[in-house]
Chains A and B, each alone.
Chain A
Amino acid sequence: MPELIAKTPLSGLWPVTHGALSLSEVVYDSILSLAPFAGQEKVLTKALKPLGLAFPAPNTLAVSGVARIVWTGRDQAFLINAPLATPSAAITDQSDGWAGLRLEGPMAAEALMRLVPIDLRSSAFPPGSAARAPLNHMNAVVMRLESGFEVMVFRSMARSAWTEIAETMQRVAARQALR
């Protein structure tokens, strides 16, 4: 078997900076979808304990070192950057299915709110929050960490999401420059 070169969803694009806003690709080592079987929630909680994580409440995420768990639906969460084997949940490897985009800067929430129709200000969406929400017409997972926002979209839409966020950053930065 020849060794193939794996490309990231946004390979070939360089980080973009407009004013104080910056956009870059996040590459996750692995993304596992966890869906606990009925009545197995306690067993799953035990399996997650060594990772320092627990099954997240709706609209939240938790971080432990490089590992992260994000709520993505009813009885569903994404475990990022950590392996897990347990018979208590349906586990699906989705590592290659998603693209990650990181948006940082003091006006990041204002920029992202032009595309995502929910309140992303820190009063309503502090670090540790996560949401399933549309980014324009793309289904996305929006996460807020201490360092800024991370947005996951389907891999096939990586470049559309990148272009739309980059254009929005430019507009927000231009408006800031006029002040």
Chain B
Amino acid sequence: MRLTCPLCGPRDRREFYYYGADDYLHRPAPDAPPAAWDDYLHNRDNPAGMLRDLWYHEAGCGQWLAVSRNTVSHDITAVECVAPLRPARKKAVRNED
């Protein structure tokens, strides 16, 4: 199995660490109901078909990657860096010092 890292190019599976479904990218608000937190922490779909999951390019560039993967055909249709998908950090944090 190979993943095409958006930065490093096509790399062998042994360079990557698997983390699980991309639900971890959708953290509920602190005051969200317990059910939302339960879903976020514990409940996962197990689809036969397209799945989006997180991989860490451990032995390469050290980026978290969102990988679109078909669990039936094993096709990998997209690999994206997670960092640019995240909302920009609030400016206030850096002005505190």
Contacts and interface: CB of A to CB of B under 8 A. Distances in A.
A139 B7 contact: no
B34 interface: no
Contacts, number: 43
A131 B8 contact: yes
A162 B51 CA distance: 42
Nearest to B89: A38
Contacts of B60: 131-134
Interface in A40-85: 58-59, 72-74
Interface residues of A, number: 13
Interface-centre pick from B59, B62, B63 (highest chain A CB count, 10 A): B59
A134 B14 contact: yes
Of the four ranges (under 10, 10 to 19, 20 to 34, 35 or more), the interface on chain B belongs to 10 to 19
Given A117-B12, A133-B15, A58 B7 contact: yes
Interface string B16-58: 0000000000000000000000000000000000000000001
17 contacts: A58-B7, A59-B7, A73-B61, A74-B7, A74-B61, A74-B63, A74-B81, A117-B15, A118-B9, A131-B8, A131-B60, A132-B59, A132-B61, A133-B8, A133-B59, A134-B14, A134-B59
